[in-house]
Structure 1
Amino acid sequence: MASHRKSRPSGTRVAGIRTPALATAALTSVALLSQTANAAPSADDKPSLEEVEKKVDDLYRQAESATDKYNAAQEKTAKQRKRVDTLLDDVAQRTQSLNEAREELGSFAAAQYRTGASAPDTATFLLADSPQDYFDQTQLMGRLTNRQKGAVDDYVTEQSETMKKRQEATESLQTLTKSQGELKTAKATVQTKLADARALLSQLTAEEKARLAAIERKKQQEAAAKAAELARQQAAEQKAREEAAAAQQETDSGSSSSSSSTTTDSSTATDASYATKAEKALAFARAQIGKPYVWGATGPESYDCSGLTQAAWKAAGVDIPRVTYDQVKAGTTVSVSAAQPGDLVFFYDDISHVGLYIGNGMMIHAPKPGAYVREESIFYDGESSIHSVVRPA
């Protein structure tokens, strides 16, 4: 007798579910596609030279930003260490004074005991939390001379001040420890960014490095053209100002008002004073050309960007802060077109780079690790990279 059971459909079982042959083929195709997608990238997936250049530039900028944080942490640590040393010296001196006052009080207590002027336990006041309270309680203050009372007052005051200074020293030591931790973190960040940039560059072939150099030269040519255009613009504006001043002088015919004359003389004197200082700052900066960029360096053998500008203006007798985001606040902001030699030119939204303007759209700066102090267009990384221009004196 023939069996009435239906034949099973062909196919395989997936996770306990029967699948027809067509579904099996589809699943196989999906698996193959997935394997292809997860396979190692081909040579065509290698980043372009332009992408490598942008990544390296970004890493250098991040390193420079981290350098400023390192510089700030280093400065903070140095100040805090100086404060801690001062406080510890003060505590040592106060402790010595406290010991001397304690010895003097001990001699008074011994004298009181020998003369029978107080109870035998008079000397225990030295162990009390407050000698003043002890003397009040035993009414010993009424039997002390003015000199002895003064010694008690001095002891109580010195004890209070010493405890206060010890607390300040403890808190300052804690702050110093925190600052040292920040310094260590900032340093590690800089080193990591620089290592990543060097690793990317080391992977380039000789041909790629040559092409990268060609790209850099083209950028420099474009930046130089923009600098020349700014120089022409500034020259035209200067000529217009001189012609306007000459016309005004003719109109006044030597009889200008006192207030107008005073304002003009004051403005001229201010410009001349700034120009004199700027000339000294620029002379110093020019003497540093060719020295290497080293992160965190302030000279005299090497510099980072803000270390160079700080040293240049210090040579002119003007103290400006150490890091870029403090230097940008140390003066008067002017437009790019109004920039004068000696002005500080800041770059990028995070104000992570600075150079010293020398005129004609050019500056002296310490560019980045692996480079040297040099003259370069302020448009070296495009016009949009300029954050602001500040006149520091």
Structure 2
Amino acid sequence: MASHRRPKQPSRARLTLLGAAASAAATVGVTATSASADPGQSIDDVREEVDELHHEAEEITEEYNGAKERETELQAEIEELQDSAARGQERLNELRNGMGSMAAAQYRNGGLDPSMQLFLSSDPDAFLDQASALDQLSAKQAESLRLIQEQQRTLDQQREEAGERLAELEDVRSTLSEQKDTIQGKLGEAQSLLNQLTEEERQQVAAAEQAEAEEAARASRSEDRATTDPSSGSTSDAAASSRGQAALNAAATKLGAPYVWASAGPNSFDCSGLTSWAYAQAGVSLPRVSQDQANAGTRVSMSELAPGDLVFFYPELTHVGIYAGNGQMLHAPRPGGNVEYASMSIMPFQFGTRVG
């Protein structure tokens, strides 16, 4: 997702965020000129603006993911309604053919009953509303007409529902297009600001980012050893659930995979895309959007976290990762970044969720 930070973080964290964002141009592929830094802006000032733009893009990306999921649902609903309507039309045709056979038999045997003539030349619904007309029909004819009426109403309802879903699908696709443009615009503005950094500054922040990622990975490996060694006496984290640990192990196989917004694997991910993919490998189906994933299990506090728990950040719950132990998480961070270990302190933590 976007670059992340807790307000007024130490300068090292700020450099890390800038370094990851500085490589975003290769991923975003958008050049924007609407954002420009004031001549007197410091690196931290630029970072503040870039961070805000990335966070805004992250919020919209989760909205995009939700709309994309709804698009898929609508397509399935429309296909089902259309299939049902097609089968219903076939059934209606069969019923009408059967009524026609009755009429033909009557004609051959001395003439068409007046009530049958009325039915064949008018709307069945209007005809059936006339109780006196029903009295003139045989029980078999009346039952056939009722079946035709019921089938016609069902068919009309299915077609109406399909039309409503198609209209909603068109609205969703329009929303997706607008959100995509907005996301790319935000990322492009951020890149325009980052382009003002000198080459030396870019190298500094890239080095700082690499150092932090390596430190987080070492801390996570240290925690892994502590939780598997009974003699370590480690009590810093609760015991991991089997599915949570399996999801964490799966996510770890994607270290270094590129962040791509709205991607859910297997070769690139956004934040909720990584968590949903990882848990799928553990046999658990998670919702696609981070806000929905927050309700997929039991909520836990910071002190109750165990490796494999989902961890959520920002009041809007727009970023999610997988707790890796020792205050570290594994996540897909932001455009231009890769799946990595990171300290949970770089973002405003809200709560964890234990799944399975």
What TM-score, normalized to structure 2? 0.77
Deviation, structure 1 residue 306: 0.6
1:324 aligned residue (290, 314, 335):
290
- Aligned AA for 2:111? G
Q: Aligned in 2, Cα 1:279/1:143: closer, same or farther, shift over 3 Å?
A: closer
Structure (1 or 2) with the larger CA radius of gyration:
1
Find out whether 1:154 has 2:120 as its counterpart: no
Task: Write the letter of the residue equivalent to 2:98.
Answer: E
Q: 2:312 aligned to 337, 342, 346, which one? A: 346
Q: Paired residue for 2:246, among 276, 280, 287?
A: 280
Residues 118 and 140 in structure 1, CA contact (< 8 A), matched pair in contact too: no
* SS of match in other structure, 2:321: strand
- 2:169 pairs with 1:176: yes
Q: Residues of 1 paired with 2:307 and 2:330: CA distance?
A: 10
- Which residue of the partner structure matches residue 116 of structure 1? 111
State the number of aligned residues: 307
**Identity across aligned pairs (percent)?**
38
Q: 1:113 to 1:352 in 2, by over 3 A?
A: same
1:205 matched to which residue of 2? 198
Which residue in the other structure is 1:247 paired with?
Answer: none
The answer on whether the counterparts of 2:243 and 2:355 sit within 8 Å (CA) in structure 1 is: no
Give the AA of the match of 1:317: G
Per-residue CA distance 1:237-277 (angstroms, 9 max, x = gap): x96989xxxxxxxxxxxxxxxxxxxxxxxxxxxx87x5322
Alpha-carbon deviations, 1:259-317, whole Å to 9, x = none?
Answer: xxxxxxxxxxxx87x53222211110110001100001111110111111111112111
Deviation at 1:132, TM superposition (A): 6.9
Match of 2:353 in 1: 390
Tell me the CA shift for residue 331 of structure 1: 1.5
CA 1:215 to 1:147, structure 2 compared with 1: closer, same or farther past 3 Å?
Answer: same
Q: How far apart are residue 80 of structure 1 and its match?
A: 0.7
1:368 aligns with 2:334: yes
Counting only pairs closer than 5 Å after superposition, residues 174-323 of structure 1 correspond to structure 2 as 174-213=167-206, 220=212, 275-323=241-289
Question: Which residue does 1:87 correspond to in 2?
Answer: 81
Letter aligned with residue 282 of structure 1: L
If asked which structure has higher relative contact order (CA below 8 Å, sep 6+), I would say: 2
- Is the contact between residue 132 and residue 156 of structure 1 (CA under 8 Å) also seen in structure 2? no
Q: 1:46: how far off?
A: 3.2
**1:205-262 CA deviation, whole Å, 9 max, x = no partner?**
22332454477579x49x96xx89xx8xx99xx96989xxxxxxxxxxxxxxxxxxxx
Cα deviation, residue 100, structure 1: 1.8
Gaps of 5+ in 2: 1-36
CA RMSD of aligned residues (A): 3.0
**Cα pair 1:362 1:375 within 8 Å, conserved:** yes
Counterpart CA distance in 2 for 1:122 and 1:335 is 74
Unaligned runs of 5+ in 1: 1-42, 243-270
Q: Distance in 2 between matches of 1:111 and 1:339?
A: 78
Q: How does 1:99-138 map to 2 (within 5 A)?
A: 99-114=93-108, 115-116=110-111, 118-119=113-114, 122-130=116-124, 133=127, 136=130
